[in-house]
Structure 1
């Protein structure tokens, strides 16, 4: 069984009254519980997904050290998502940042964002992380087919080993 990001999102589902067992909330709770059970039962984690997701993370910072720190934080997110999901997740922009592209140069930044938009158009969607939406991420979101918003999890990836543990309190968007 392959668990997709859609399964993780289904595991977030809550009824109209969060945590309420009323008749109006029961169908959402059943779907959520079934998705959670499928995720927990999936102990084989090789990437067999045909879905390819783009990792979106804030890059800009006041100085080069901050830009590099953001790239390294994005790498930690990428590692966490790959450990806790069977989806293929890519972040080609990280190579550009770490190889010296200058985010402070408007021409280089625009070229990088155009490249990112071209890649996003070919993906299943984007996974937004990093605690906030930046202007560049908003441009990527505008051309994405689907958006999985995990920014509410904070700047850094959760310390837990199971993605579902971190995703459950987020709520569905």
Structure 2
């Protein structure tokens, strides 16, 4: 949870934290310092940080975050990037999008995500439905197969480097 539209709105931030505390499964949440500051401002930090059901973590690095995503049951987020990454073949997790809309409709259309809004009741209802969900996730990500880096490297080696060598008259071994 990091978007200004959510974190800077006390009603929405309270709704999220109450939903996390009442969730039927434990919730692990890495919190940005700005979010912690807002929680302190609305006097929710102590309750959230001491909750039996919520495990608050400091911000984690990218690879640690990928490990958290890979090993969780499902993901609740307001992040567009996380919606995409959740569809990657090594992760493949269902996502509850804690927003009114998403800039990643492909994830919703493919069956990887559901936009659930920002109200506690809607989040908890969607969470319950997601936990009972029996439909398998799609095999393919709507955002690609995860091999674009290899294809880019191949293109550079096979086409761009030879063209540059030809232009410069140099020959190098790769």
TM-score normalized by structure 1? 0.35
Q: Which has the higher contact order (CA 8 A, sep 6+)?
A: 1
Compare CA radii of gyration and give the structure with the larger one.
2
TM-score normalized by structure 2? 0.35
